[in-house]
Amino acid sequence: MTKHYEVIVVGAGSMGMAAGYYLAAQGVKTLMIDAFDPPHENGSHAGQTRLIRHACGEGLEYVPLALRAQELWDDLQAKTNERIFMKTGVVTYGPAESLFVQTAIDGGHKYKLNFETLSADEINARWPGITVPDGQIGCYEPEAGMLFSENSIRTFRRLALDNGAELKVDSPVMNIDIHADSVKVDTDTESFTADKLIISGGAWNKKILDDLDMKINIQPSRQTIAWFDSNDELYKADSFPGFFADVPTGVYYGFPSIDSGGLKIGRYDNGDDIDPAYYNKEFGAYEKDESDIRGFMSQYMQAANGSLKVGKTCLFTNTPDENFIIDKHPEHDHVAIAAGFSGHGYKFSSAVGEVLSELVTAGETKQDISLFKATRPSLQPENEGEVYFKARGK
């Protein structure tokens, strides 16, 4: 006999595991299914840490979602002894004309956030590990910091299971059938039914949605991150902030050294489009994996440009306008979708999980998600090939 649930969550990574917890905490009979065993190295959450900024350069509409996410991260921290959030501060910097930096500053003003606007000289004086040239400015948020992504998923997983949710790991979904008032999900060994469905498959969302005849423009890409030997007196977490740099040579982000682990830096743009089932996961497979990051450090963080400690690859799933997809399926009201987080979604995943739980229980959410509609023009196949760079102003 096929087992029936109130909600099935396909993809129990960043967004899906959070959704599973918030559903189970309400007593909703929930099944989460993942192709791997989260947390794992095959998702967008890999690499230990993620930044959380409240003054979001991606757009003013993101600020309320970031603030709600921070509340939920703080609540999660209270439920575990694992590190979930570390307040290091985050500085966002780039040329004065950078749309990303200006939007962060505008968001700080509009929502009365705790932030400072800093000149290049002020940034260099406050953090000697950074060398910012004249003409660049920064937005510094002392309340922002780092999320420990893998710890967070482990904690959401434990709490979801403690509240009665079930989790099937190492179980790739082979087929989904959507009926008028129910769904059927097949793995390679079992079948399950439910009243409602959440699709949150990360880089696999494109294939899942294609198989459901929902053709939208999302594209997985291969990205890299690396840790470098660095001077802990300059870059340790109790004195150096996280950072996001929108500079003429590219877009970079990084983290202070934790427990002498080295400065962590990644490049946000310049990834390679891939199929998540078939791509080279080895850091260094391409010369640019390391050279892109070293080029940035040689200009902006010379004292961090030491020997490579470790490098890793991770996955982004990009939309043309770099805005998320958080919506109900346009033809099936009992199906919710979370996709296309374009490399800046993890910090919101607690709030996105809450939103998904609301969409499949109440049919609506308290958050304004109008920006994230699945039916917006830039996602439609006839617009494939168009490029939007609203967020970064490139």
Quick check: helix, strand or coil at residue 384? coil
Q: Which tokens hold the place of 290? A: 């390391």
pLDDT value, residue 384? 54
C-alpha neighbours within 13 Å on the C-beta side of residue 326: 31
**What's the confidence (pLDDT) of residue 46?**
64
Residue closest to 113 by CA, chosen among 90, 146, 136: 90
> Residue 306: which domain range?
90-142+220-318
How many percent of the chain have pLDDT more than 70? 96
Q: Are residues 197 and 346 in the same domain?
A: yes
Band (208; pLDDT cuts 50, 70, 90)? very high
Whether residue 134 is found in the same domain as residue 237: yes
d(CA 287, CA 251): 18
What would the two tokens of residue 133 be?
A: 């040239």
Rounded distance between C-alpha atoms, residue 33 and residue 31, angstroms: 7
How far CA 30 is from CA of 182, 187, 195, 196, in Å, comes to 14, 16, 10, 10
CATH number for position 308? 3.30.9.10
In the chain, the number of structural domains is: 2
Show the tokens assigned to 236. Answer: 């340790």
> Is residue 290 classed exposed, middle or buried when 0-12, 13-18 and 19+ CB atoms within 10 A define those classes?
middle
User: What is the bridge-based pairing of β-strands 3-10 and 30-33?
Assistant: parallel
Please name every residue paired with 199 in a beta bridge, in sequence order, or none if there are none: 10, 337
* pLDDT exceeds 90 at position 42: no
Measured CA distances, 19 to 157, 176, 188, 307 (Å): 10, 19, 24, 40
Examine the pLDDT at 264 and tell me if it is beyond 60: yes
The pTM of this model reads 0.95
Q: How many other CB atoms are there within 10 angstroms of residue 213's CB atom?
A: 8
In a domain, 63, yes or no: no
Same domain, 160 and 20: yes
Please calculate the CA angle 55-338-32 and round it to the nearest 5 degrees. 120
Average pLDDT over residues 253-273: 93
| 248, part of any domain | yes
CATH of the domain at 366: 3.50.50.60
